[in-house]
Amino acid sequence: MTAHAANDIVARAVEVLKENDQGTYTIPTKGLYPFQWNWDSCLTALGLAHYDEARAWTEIETLFAHQWPDGMVPHIVFHVWNDSYFPGPEVWRTGRPTATSGITQPAVAGFAVRRLFDRAKDRKLAAERARALLPKIDAWHRWFYENRDPKGEGLVAIIHPWESGRDNSIDWDDAFERVPTEGVEPYTRRDTLHADPAHRPTKAQYDRYLWLVQHFRGLGWDNAKLHDASPFQIVDPGFNAILIRAATDLADLAEALGETAIAKANRARAQKGLAAMERLWSDAHGQYLCLDRVAGTLVDSASVGGILPAFAAIPKDRAAAVAANLERLSGTARYVVPSHDPGDRRFDAKRYWRGPVWLVVNYMIADGLAAAGHGQVAQRITQSSLDLIRESGFAEYYDPLTGEPLGGGRFTWTAAMVIEFLRDAQVGGA
Ligand code: GLC
């Protein structure tokens, strides 16, 4: 790509970010997602920093202003009422001063804040803002291990598929059989008004998403109770790897800022987590798998959740196996990384997290693989991501076989990731 073409794409990406900017937070896209989402915001901050560092810090600060007293950072903050999304505050009823959902999302904040800090041109501003966020992110990490790892195994469970960020992954299908649907209050979905129903989760899945929400609401959103009371407890390798990476990054940042206690606690969490991840490894698949904590078994489902651990400092031989697996996947899909192995009969090229490519996931995998010395595979992922943008625009997700844009359009975190990819790509020509 020429420097001119790259600059043009960045300018278009910045337009998307500005369009979705609400002043102190950014919505993922108009219509489909009109509020602030947790991991969207943290990754979006990296794109914002490209043209406004102060605004980037604000994005993450706004999210943490709505952290719960117990340390949890909710997956959605409903800043301004809007009826284009379901389930809204009237379903969650979490009783927070500003309405929020009652579950969390991948803990990518520690990673994002370290990256903002490392790159900051305004060092004084960065030190101030990072220092204020440190104890909050640390409290969130502590919350995870206290509430989602009750036996101290070193790995945390999600209790709702939405927490993983990979809402309708094939990974949850078997465990979902255990989630009942009796007593689900009547509801009308809104997502299918904004996007093709064939590209979205099914009604059977939605019923179960809502059953879980009602079940947790019935327990007063008391996190001391929810994990054990949930029929859905999954140890997702991608989710854990993000938390482990964030803990390592937070430890480095805390050290740089002289906060030794925070550094020590997070270093220990990361170390224990990395050792425990071995339990999730599958030689047969050449990647990690989810563990169904209720059933006590690994889930036979080769999703991108088991490739994402490349984002953390996994052992060298594991990273090499994941890189080899990615090369194999490049042979089956025109664009990588598909969210599910196309060789699996359950793969669906267009249905959300059951096959399509998502640029945020690509970004984290490429980042980790490059750091582990697998530059070529990382480059292949970056190239696929940029090809998708050039051919199909800033979509929510993409068909890995055809590149067709799917879901919402003018999508914030997709735009932010493109700015990131181009920052590191080698751009030549005039
Ligand atoms: C969908 C995605 C989730 C994302 C949200 C907002 O629910 O599955 O990962 O955070 O949309 O973009």
Tens-digit pLDDT profile for residues 74-116:
999 999 999 999 999 999 999 999 999 999 999 999 999 999 9
Confidence of residue 427 (pLDDT cuts 50, 70, 90): low
CA 165 to centroid of ligand 1, rounded, Å: 6
245 close to 115: Cβ distance less than 8 angstroms:
no
Establish whether residue 40 lines the binding site of ligand 1, counting it when its CB lies within 6 angstroms of any ligand atom: yes
Q: What is the mean pLDDT of residues 206-223?
A: 98
Q: Is the full-model pTM beyond 0.85?
A: yes
Of 8-12, 13-17, 131-135, 422-426, the range with the lowest mean pLDDT is 422-426
Query: Looking at ligand 1, which atom is closest to the CA of residue 39?
Result: 10
Q: Which residue puts its alpha carbon closest to atom 3 of ligand 1?
A: 165
Which of 20, 32, 37, 414 for mutating ligand 1's site (highest number of atoms within 8 Å of CB)?
37
335 and 384 in contact (C-beta within 8 Å)?
yes
* Confidence tier at 9 by pLDDT (50, 70, 90): very high
Ligand 1 mean position to 411 CA, how many Å?
11
Looking at the chain, the whole-number percentage of residues with pLDDT higher than 90 is 97
pLDDT at 424: 72
Pocket test for ligand 1, best of 32, 40, 103 (most atoms within 8 A of CB): 40
**pLDDT-derived band of residue 45, with 50, 70 and 90 as boundaries?**
very high
Judge whether residue 426 has pLDDT over 60. no
146 CA → ligand 1 middle, Å: 25
Q: Which residue is closest in CA terms to ligand 1's atom 9?
A: 165
Rounded Cα distance, 394 and 412, in Å: 8
Mean pLDDT value of segment 308-337: 98
pLDDT at 430: 39
Interaxial angle between packed helices 375-392 and 359-371, expressed in degrees from 0 to 180 and rounded to the nearest 10? 160
Distance CA(194)–CA(191), nearest Å, equals: 5
399 lines ligand 1 (CB under 6 A): no
- Percent share of the chain, pLDDT over 70: 99
Facing residues of 26 across strands?
21
Looking at ligand 1, which atom is closest to the CA of residue 40? 10
Ligand 1 touching residue 37 (CB < 6 A): yes
Decide the pairing of beta strands 405-406 and 397-398.
antiparallel
User: Closest residue (by CA) to atom 12 of ligand 1?
Assistant: 28
Q: What is the mean pLDDT of residues 212-223?
A: 98
Q: How far is the CA of 123 from the centre of ligand 1 (A)?
A: 32
**Arithmetic mean of pLDDT, 150-154:** 97
Residue-level pLDDT at 1: 83
Phi, psi of 173 (to 5 degrees): -55, -50
Q: Which atom number of ligand 1 is nearest to the Cα of residue 105?
A: 10
Helix intervals (H) in 195-308: 203-218, 223-229, 237-256, 260-277
Q: Is 397 in the pocket of ligand 1 (CB under 6 A)?
A: no
Ligand 1 centroid to residue 302 C-alpha, Å: 20
Ligand 1 atom having least distance to the Cα of 413:
12
Q: Does the beta carbon of 176 lie inside 6 Å of ligand 1?
A: no
Mutational test site, ligand 1, from 167, 189, 190, max ligand atoms within 8 Å of CB: 167
The CA 238 to ligand 1 mean position distance, Å, reads: 15
d(CA 103, CA 120): 31
Find out whether the beta carbon of 28 lies less than 6 Å from any atom of ligand 1. Answer: yes
Average pLDDT over residues 125-131: 98
CA–CA dist 377, 369 (Å, integer): 7
Mean pLDDT of 22-39: 97
Do the Cβ atoms of 17 and 397 come closer than 8 Å? Answer: no
pLDDT score recorded for residue 425: 67
Comparing CA positions, the residue from 234, 231, 233, 235 lying closest to residue 181 is 231
Give me the chain's average pLDDT, please: 97
Instruction: Read off the pLDDT of each residue in 127-140 and give the average, rounded to a whole number.
Output: 98
Of the given ranges (11-15, 181-185, 400-404, 425-429), which has the lowest mean pLDDT?
425-429
How far away, in angstroms, is 334 Cα from ligand 1 center? Answer: 24
Q: Tell me if 163 CB under 6 Å of ligand 1.
A: no
> What's the CA-to-centroid distance between 339 and ligand 1, angstroms?
14
Give the whole-angstrom CA distance, residue 395 versus residue 46.
18
Distance of CA 111 to the CA centre of its chain: 12
Reported confidence tier of residue 429, pLDDT bands at 50, 70, 90: very low
- For the stretch 353-398, pLDDT in tens is 999 999 999 999 999 999 999 999 999 999 999 999 999 999 999 9
CA distance 307 to 362: 10
* Distance between CA atoms of residues 56 and 240, nearest Å: 25
Q: Which residues are catalytic?
A: 167, 396
Strand order in the sheet with 234-235: 234-235, 291-292, 297-298
Q: How far apart are CA 405 and CA 23, in angstroms?
A: 28
Residue 428 has pLDDT above 70, yes or no: no
Q: Which atom of ligand 1 is nearest to the CA of 164?
A: 9
